[in-house]
Structure 1
Amino acid sequence: MILVTGSTGTVGRELVRRLPDGIPVRLMTRSPERVTTMTPAAETVGADFTDDGSLARALQGVRKVFLVTARVGADDDARFLRLAREAGVRHVVKLSAAAVADGAADDLITRWQRDNEELLRRSGMEWTMLRPRAFTSNSLSWAASVRSEGVVRALYGSSLNACVDPRDIAAVAVSALTGDGHEGRVHTLTGPEAISAVQQTAQLAAVLGQPLRFEELGPQEAEAALRRRWPAEIAEALMSSARRQRDGAKAAVADTVRAVTGRPARSFRTWAADHAAAFAPPAKAAEG
């Protein structure tokens, strides 16, 4: 039995779609009613990382886990890994972050991810780390301004990030969960090229067939926007991450997706074409 945590999330739902038929899988979520992607061999379980009892029930009979945690600074990984080991789990595939390998990255989010990786290494279970760059789907945060104004706004618009399609992360996760030889390995996951927000704006405009304008956010403006959405320490960590991107820390491209899955990583343009309806004005979205 495979347990997929974060089964309604960006990567989790794509992973479920790609699992081979017939593999028993349990989809863990705090809100079972939100599960829309199922397979004939799938079951859903309601559980919360803060509730030992619910986690123990979710882990019953499980041998492999796809682990995603999101509460920065919380002890969700420690609790889950303890209960997973007690339940007899053999192999955990963890969604981490590429910044973990960057010695210059010392923000709160990266330190938390490093600590969680170390917890898994010391857990006594087999492990595989997935370390993606930024998701191409992060550009969905531009959808409202693209629809209403034809504008993309971002900080450090010319800085490069080898962003990766969540579908490719999911495909690698499926290989790690169902194939051999992934134990004890770290998979750094990127797209096929490093791309800037300015370049993404141009490619998105070409896909939509409409002009788009890029507007550079200043650091103070960007930080203020982050602080409206996140606690101060998270906003600070995200600003630190943006500065490292500005300095070139996220431009390296890895060929891991091809090496693991046998096909190249999807480009941003491919992702944009597949999700164009999210950016189209209401009339165009309805026509499409």
Structure 2
Amino acid sequence: MILVTGATGTVGRAVAERLPAGPGLRLMARDPARITGGGAAAERVAGEYGDPRSLARALAGVRTAFLVTARVGGGDDAAFVGAARMAGVRRVVKLSAAAVLDEGADDLITRWQREGEELLRASGMEWTLLRPRAFMSNALSWAASVRSEGTVRALYGGSGNACVDPRDVAEAAVRVLTEEGHASRAYTLTGPEAVTAAAQTEQLGRLLGVGLRFEELSVGQARAVLAGRYPAPVVEALLQSAQRQYAGAKAGVGDGVAALTGRPAGTFTAWARDHLAAFAPVPETEGAGA
């Protein structure tokens, strides 16, 4: 039995869609009704890291688990690893982050990911770590301003990030979950090149057939935007992370995607082409209001 946590999230959903459908697949989310992947035969269960009983039910009979946590500093990794060990799980594949390898990264989010990795290494279970760079899908946060204003706003628009297509991360996860030979290994997953927000804006505009504007945010403006989405400690961690990107720490390209999938990592242009509808203006209905 394979358990996929976070089955409604960006990567968890894509993993569920790619794993062999059948009764050997269990998908966990807070609201199982929102799970769309896995096929009709997959088992869907409600589970929360803060609810030991729900974790025990989700992990019963599981041999391999895919662990995705998002509540920074909330103890979710420890709760899951402890429950998985009690349930007799053989192998856990954890979604971590590429920043853990950066000695200069000491922000809250990176420290939390490092702690989660250490918990898993010390658990006595087999483990594999997937360390993606930023997801290309983060560009979806620009969709509203692209549709309404033809504008992308971002901090440090000229700094490169070797961002990765979440679908590549999901495919890599499926390989690790279903194959032997990945125990005690870590894979850094990046895109094929470092791209800047300004270059992403140009690529999106070309695909849309319009001239998009790029506007550089100040640190203060970026802090205000992020404060509308995240708690203050996470906002500061994200700003520290952006500063490391500005210094060039996120431009390195790795071969983890190719090593696991047997093909090159996908480009931002390819990701954007497949998600263009999110950025395209909604056409006005003829005769509306008549």
TM-score bracket, normalised by the shorter chain, equals over 0.9
> What's 1:268 paired with?
268
Matched AA of 1:273: R
> What's 2:25 paired with?
25
More displaced, 163-172 or 228-237? 228-237
> What's 1:166 paired with?
166
CA-to-partner distance for each residue in 1:131-188, whole Å, 9 max, x for gaps? Answer: 0000000000000000000000000000000000000000000000001111100010
Is 1:177 paired with 2:177? Answer: yes
Separation in 2, partners of 1:232, 1:83: 30
> What's 1:108 paired with?
108
Separation in 2, partners of 1:232, 1:21: 40
Q: Tell me, yes or no, if the aligned pair for 2:135 and 2:164 is still in contact at 8 Å.
A: yes
Matched AA of 1:150: G
Q: Tell me, yes or no, if the aligned pair for 2:21 and 2:38 is still in contact at 8 Å.
A: no
Separation in 2, partners of 1:77, 1:157: 33
Question: In structure 1, the residue corresponding to 2:65 is in which secondary structure?
Answer: strand
Separation in 2, partners of 1:107, 1:195: 23
Mapping of 1:267-286 within 5 angstroms?
267-283=267-283
Question: In structure 1, the residue corresponding to 2:223 is in which secondary structure?
Answer: helix
Q: How far 1:255 moved relative to its partner?
A: 1.3
CA-to-partner distance for each residue in 1:211-266, whole Å, 9 max, x for gaps? Answer: 10000001111112212322111110000000000000000001111111111111
Mapping of 1:208-287 within 5 angstroms?
208-283=208-283
Long gaps (5+) in structure 2: 286-290
Question: In structure 2, the residue corresponding to 1:130 is in which secondary structure?
Answer: strand
Mapping of 1:45-84 within 5 angstroms?
45-84=45-84
More displaced, 144-153 or 20-29? 20-29
Long gaps (5+) in structure 1: none
Is 1:35 paired with 2:35? Answer: yes
Separation in 2, partners of 1:8, 1:260: 23
The ranges of structure 1 where at least 4 consecutive aligned residues each deviate by more than 2 angstroms after the TM superposition are 20-23, 38-41
Q: Tell me, yes or no, if the aligned pair for 2:153 and 2:215 is still in contact at 8 Å.
A: yes
Q: Tell me, yes or no, if the aligned pair for 2:21 and 2:42 is still in contact at 8 Å.
A: no
> What's 1:14 paired with?
14
> What's 1:189 paired with?
189
Separation in 1, partners of 2:34, 2:234: 27
Question: In structure 2, the residue corresponding to 1:161 is in which secondary structure?
Answer: coil
Q: Tell me, yes or no, if the aligned pair for 2:25 and 2:38 is still in contact at 8 Å.
A: no
> What's 1:207 paired with?
207
Mapping of 1:106-185 within 5 angstroms?
106-185=106-185
Give identity over the alignment, percent: 65
Question: In structure 1, the residue corresponding to 2:263 is in which secondary structure?
Answer: coil
Question: In structure 2, the residue corresponding to 1:229 is in which secondary structure?
Answer: coil
> What's 2:96 paired with?
96
Matched AA of 1:58: A
Separation in 1, partners of 2:135, 2:213: 22
Aligned residues: 285
Separation in 2, partners of 1:225, 1:20: 40
Q: How far 1:20 moved relative to its partner?
A: 2.6
Matched AA of 2:179: G
CA-to-partner distance for each residue in 1:81-124, whole Å, 9 max, x for gaps? Answer: 11101111000000000000101000001001000100000000
Q: How far 1:22 moved relative to its partner?
A: 4.3
Separation in 2, partners of 1:200, 1:220: 23
Separation in 2, partners of 1:166, 1:125: 26
Separation in 2, partners of 1:266, 1:107: 28
**RMSD of the TM alignment (CA)?**
1.2
